[in-house]
Structure formats: C-alpha cells, structure tokens
Structure 1
C-alpha cells in the first residue's frame, strides 16, 4: 500500500497510467462494453463503477488542455435516452477534479468503438448503467 493512492487503483492500472504519455487515451468502460475484443491493453476493474474509477484516476491524471475536448462519451442510439443521467455525474466528477468546466464531446456509438480500439488501454468495470463509457485524453503536468 502507498499513502495517498486510492486503493481502487491496482498496481496494473497505476502502471498503465504512468506509461501513458501526452495525448494517449484510456477508456473507462461499463459492463456492457466489448472491452476484451477492443482493447490493446485490457485492465480489469471488475466490482467497481465507472464513477469510482473516474474519481480516483482524475486525482492523479491530467486532462489534455491542448485539444477541444479531452473527455468523450458514447452518444445513445436512436430510441434511447439522449441524456443518460450518469453523464451529469461524469460532468460533476470531471469539473471537481479540474476545478473548472471541461469540454465533453459525444461520439456516435460505432465511432466510439473505433476510437476505443486505438486507446492506450481499456479499463473494464462492472458498471451496469447504460452509456457509462468515457474516454479520457491525457495531458501534461
């Protein structure tokens, strides 16, 4: 154990976060996301929610300030709720971690899947809420 490091962050996840460079992306995926088939590096985070990881990761992880939107979400498909309630939670967590409002982009479902394939890593959670997938682009300190 280390002081100041949230226990939810496994050694494997910490290693991935440290290896990532400016512009690299990590996907925090809900339990419905095809993480194993899309990941270059799959990090298991089963038993925890996306928001739990978002809180812990953003305590350590700088978001990219050189892009229009360093946070990306998966847009719902036709017929689903266009504003999933989990998104408000994401916005609150991101804003609290950054101390200001952060631009968030929404990608069409298949575009989100393609973007995920190029991500540095995918963190697979047990989140059961639909559309609780988020991509974070790493910035510099």
Structure 2
C-alpha cells in the first residue's frame, strides 16, 4: 500500500509519470476542460475538495519549477491567490530552488490547459482559482 499522503490512484499515477517541464492544471469547478486533456474530477459538492486542499496534496507529491495563473485571479480572488502564493513560497524554501510564476489572461490560461497532461477539477467555487504547475526535477 502507498505510504505517502496522496491516495487518489489516478492523480498519483499522473504525478508519477510526469517528466521535466510536463504540466498539470488544478482548477475550480467551472473551468472548461479541453476534450483532448485527461480529466481527473475530484469535485463532490460545491467547495469539496477545495482548491487549496488539492494544491497541497499535489505539491506533497510533485516537484514544480514553474506556475501559470490568470492575471484576474489576484484581483478578483485575492485571498485564494495569496494562499496559493504562500504555498509556492513554502515549496521554494523546501526545495531550495526558485519557482517561476507567470501571469496570463484568463482566456490565454484556458488555451494553455490544452498542454496539460491532466486537469484536476476541484469543488472550488471561487472565481479564477486555477493554476498550472510545470514539473521540475528533484536533483
């Protein structure tokens, strides 16, 4: 049996198969998911699981080197944006590496999700609570 915290088999498999610079998206309940992209739907009811809970679970397993977010996120949902930035800063301290943060328009963000190996849908109902993580290396 798996020893680490992440026990969702589908999500664990996607993280385990990522290569350097591969991307995954964690999104709110409303983000459109491209048909060409694997959907991992964790949403149960509005708010469950939360965006931040899901990000924490992913970051517990995945080494990241880059992040993409919509510009609108920091203006429209500043509390969630700030919570995500705090988690990214914790990751930087834990891995001893700088994590690049890039902002794009929400429309460009939606197009960019087509590059993700998977989109992980949460039950979050906060506008623009979406992030793309770019895989780094642990060495």
TM-score interval for Structure 1 and Structure 2 normalised by the shorter chain: 0.7 to 0.9
Whose helix proportion is higher, 1 or 2?
Answer: 2
Question: Is 44-53 or 131-140 further displaced after alignment?
Answer: 44-53
What's the TM-score once normalised by structure 2's chain length?
A: 0.83
Unaligned runs of 5+ in 1: 65-69
d(CA) in 1 for partners of 2:82 and 2:5? Answer: 25
| Corresponding residue of 1:127 | 124
d(CA) in 2 for partners of 1:38 and 1:104? Answer: 26
Distance verdict in 2 for CA 1:28–1:93, change over 3 Å:
same
RMSD after superposition: 2.1
d(CA) in 2 for partners of 1:43 and 1:49? Answer: 14
What's the TM-score once normalised by structure 1's chain length?
A: 0.82
Map Cα deviations across residues 83-128 of structure 1 (whole Å, 9 max, x no partner): 6321100011111133166332111111111110111110011101
SS of residue in 2 equivalent to 1:32: coil
SS of residue in 2 equivalent to 1:13: helix
The answer (yes or no) to whether the contact 1:39–1:119 under 8 Å persists in 2 is no
| Corresponding residue of 1:12 | 10
| Corresponding residue of 1:48 | 49
The answer (yes or no) to whether the contact 2:42–2:123 under 8 Å persists in 1 is yes
d(CA) in 2 for partners of 1:98 and 1:42? Answer: 28
Structure 1 residue 72, shift from structure 2 partner: 1.0
